[in-house]
Structure 1
Amino acid sequence: MSSPKPPRPTFFEDTANDRLTAIITALTTELAGLTDRVATLEALLNDAGVLAPGAVDHHVLTDEQQAARRARHAALTDRVFYVLQEEVHYLAEQAGE
């Protein structure tokens, strides 16, 4: 059985802000890790002669690839901001819109 964790530090009057800060910090840590992994993959591909240095930075997407990327970005944004969108819809309903 695990022992109880100590309470998280609080920085804001509203603890919801502390939780949000913790979430953003965790996401930033994950993003940093993924960025490092992508850089490592690019370096390995460059070293193996599979990918020229700078190829990723200079790659031009086709129209189809751009559309797919926009769709992925929109879906990600919808997932990340779902809670906020839900609240906006609720408030709009309450206001009779």
Structure 2
Amino acid sequence: MSTPKPPRPTFFEDTANDRLTAIITALVTEVAGLSDRVATLENLLAAQGVLSPDAVDHHVLTEQEQAARRARHAALTDRVFYVLQEEVDALKGQLGA
């Protein structure tokens, strides 16, 4: 049996600001963790002689890599802004659009 989640804390009169703050906080947490992992991987690869320390900075993406990156970015954007898109969709439904 699952336990109910506690209500989210509120900091602003407008709850939209609280939702945006939650989104930004989640993103900052993800970016910090990913940045640490990328730095660790680059350091390990450079220490083992697999890559030069500046290899990532000088890498030129192929068209296939660019397409894959665009797809990942679009999927990330969809996940991050899902809450906002849900609200837009609800408003469209109310307006009959």
User: Would the TM-score normalized by the shorter structure come out above 0.5?
Assistant: yes
Aligned to 1:52: 52
Residue segments in structure 1 that go unaligned for 5+ positions in a row = none
**Tell me, which stretches of 5 or more residues in structure 2 are unaligned?**
1-5
Kindly indicate whether residue 83 of structure 2 is the aligned counterpart of residue 83 of structure 1: yes
Alignment coverage as a number of residue pairs:
91
SS in 1 for 2:96: coil
Question: What pairs with 1:56-71 in structure 2 (closer than 5 Å)?
Answer: 56-71=56-71
Q: Percent identity?
A: 77
TM-score normalised by the chain length of structure 2? 0.74
**Cα offset, 1:16, TM superposition:** 5.8
Larger Cα Rg: Structure 1 or Structure 2?
1
Query: What amino acid is aligned across from residue 39 of structure 1 in structure 2?
Result: A
- What is the RMSD computed on CA atoms of the aligned residues? 2.4
1:92 Cα deviation from its structure 2 partner: 2.0
Q: What is the alpha-carbon distance in structure 2 between the residues aligned to residue 81 and residue 74 of structure 1?
A: 11
Show the counterpart of 1:96.
Answer: 96
The higher relative CO (CA closer than 8 Å, separation ≥ 6) is in 2
Deviations for 1:39-58, whole angstroms, at most 9, x for unmatched residues?
Answer: 11101111110001111111
Question: How far has the Cα of 1:17 moved from its partner?
Answer: 3.6
